[in-house]
């Protein structure tokens, strides 16, 4: 099977896989208690936390806060729960364009796509920065550790890497925030504690804006990188050591090649094959940030939007984020496969 046939087959599998993922998730949320119908009824009884929803305003209150069967049925009809499950899924999938045209339950007059589009640039900036920095730092560091295996440099960097890996990202974020954001008076006040940019961002010059975004991004990006930093560094080191100890490397050395040529022309490409597994995640960078980190630094990103949608039972927004994540993840898997080919053309996709 050539590469074009493989690509076509993989692309043809994207749609049924995507339908299966979204169908199962759509089915689960239909039966989760505390959905929009129950929340609208609680608000009508005066037990909700916010103002009455659009559905509540369409029906009148019953006596003493009771809700009649007619009122309940009107709310179910407003949210579409009076229709069969398959009809609801089809409406979500086709009529509402995988839910992107549906109006949010928590943010009136805003569709799921409008909310996603507002958070997209923030998460993409953090995700892309963390992705690039992780690979730009971990690959050279893994190479240096492999070439200096067993030296004090190797032990010292391993200790630092494992300490960072052992600390949960959210805990590291809280420690950095206390130490460097002025939340504790006795410590430093170097970086902003929350947000993506300052309130006066629009009035700043170009370089002042760049500096402002850098100061807001520095600590969250460090936390984003902490989880995958150790894994990728050690993966690169062990892969490179395995290649260095291979027979073909000893053969190349025996032919008189120097270390520089052996490393960059022969060893590095083969060592990058296991590392290429994560290349496909470049398509899901806007969802790469940790939800907890976004909460710690109050970053209005996609992860926080997804959490708010789950907690608030905002099913249109949650399903919109899920659908976009699933689709890009499936394409990312295909991209990872072809990254293998770019690194090592000898890899084939024959059955």
Ordered structural domains, the chain, with CATH: 3-112 (no CATH), 115-343 (1.10.3720.10)
In this structure, of 145-159, 207-221, 268-282, the range with the lowest mean pLDDT score is 268-282
The pLDDT of residue 58: 46
The pLDDT score that the predictor gives to residue 46 is: 66
- Residue that wins the pLDDT comparison between 281 and 127: 127
The model's confidence at residue 117, banded by pLDDT at 50, 70 and 90, is very high
- Mean pLDDT of the 65-76 span: 79
pLDDT digits (tens, 9 = 90+) for 177-236: 888 887 777 678 888 888 888 888 888 888 998 899 899 899 988 888 877 788 889 889
State residue 63's pLDDT score: 40
CB atoms within 10 A of CB 243: 21
Q: Is the pLDDT of residue 347 over 90?
A: no
Chain centroid to CA 86: how far? 29
Q: Percent of the chain at pLDDT above 70? A: 88
> How far, CA to CA in Å, does 177 sit from each of 130, 157, 162, 170?
18, 24, 21, 10
Region 128-139: mean pLDDT is 86
Distance CA 45, CA 43 (A): 5
- Asked which of 67-71, 317-321, 327-331 is least confident by mean pLDDT, the reply is 67-71
Mean pLDDT of the chain: 82
Burial class (CB in 10 A: 0-12, 13-18, 19+), 114: middle
Residue with more model confidence, 115 or 46: 115
* pLDDT at 50 (0 to 100): 45
State the pLDDT confidence band at 20, using cuts at 50, 70 and 90.
very high
What number of other Cβ atoms are within 10 A of residue 259's Cβ?
11
User: How far does CA 332 lie from the centroid of its chain?
Assistant: 12
């Amino acid at each position: 099977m050539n590469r074009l046939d493989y690509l076509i087959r993989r692309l043809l599998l994207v749609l049924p896989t995507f339908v299966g993922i979204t169908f199962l998730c759509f089915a689960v949320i239909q039966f989760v208690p505390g959905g929009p119908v129950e929340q609208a009824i609680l608000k009508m009884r005066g037990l909700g936390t916010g103002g009455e929803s659009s559905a509540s305003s369409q029906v009148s209150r019953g006596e003493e806060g009771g809700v009649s069967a007619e009122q309940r049925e009107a709310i179910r009809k407003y949210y579409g729960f009076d229709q069969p499950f398959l009809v609801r899924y089809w409406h979500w999938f086709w009529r509402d364009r995988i839910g992107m045209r549906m109006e949010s339950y928590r943010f009136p007059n805003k569709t799921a796509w409008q909310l996603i589009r507002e958070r997209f640039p923030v998460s993409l900036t953090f995700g892309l920065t963390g992705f690039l920095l992780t690979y730009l730092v971990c690959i050279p560091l893994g190479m240096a550790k492999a070439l200096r295996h067993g030296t004090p440099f190797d032990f010292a960097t391993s200790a630092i890497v494992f300490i960072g890996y052992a600390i949960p990202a959210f805990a590291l974020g809280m420690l950095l925030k206390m130490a460097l954001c002025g939340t504790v008076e006795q410590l430093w006040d170097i970086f902003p504690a929350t947000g993506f940019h300052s309130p006066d961002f629009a009035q700043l010059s170009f370089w002042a804006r760049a500096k402002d975004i850098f100061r807001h991004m520095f600590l969250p990006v460090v936390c984003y990188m902490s989880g995958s930093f150790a894994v990728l560094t050690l993966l690169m080191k062990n892969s490179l050591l395995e290649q260095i100890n291979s027979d073909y490397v000893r053969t190349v050395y025996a032919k008189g090649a120097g270390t520089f040529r052996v490393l960059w022309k022969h060893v590095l490409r083969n060592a990058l094959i296991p590392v290429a597994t994560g290349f496909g995640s470049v398509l899901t960078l806007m969802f790469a940030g940790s939800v907890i980190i976004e909460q710690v630094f109050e970053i209005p990103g996609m992860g926080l939007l997804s959490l708010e949608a789950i907690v608030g039972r905002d099913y249109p927004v949650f399903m919109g984020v899920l659908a976009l994540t699933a689709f890009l993840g499936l394409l990312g898997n295909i991209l990872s496969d072809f990254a293998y080919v770019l690194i090592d053309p000898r890899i084939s996709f024959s059955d």
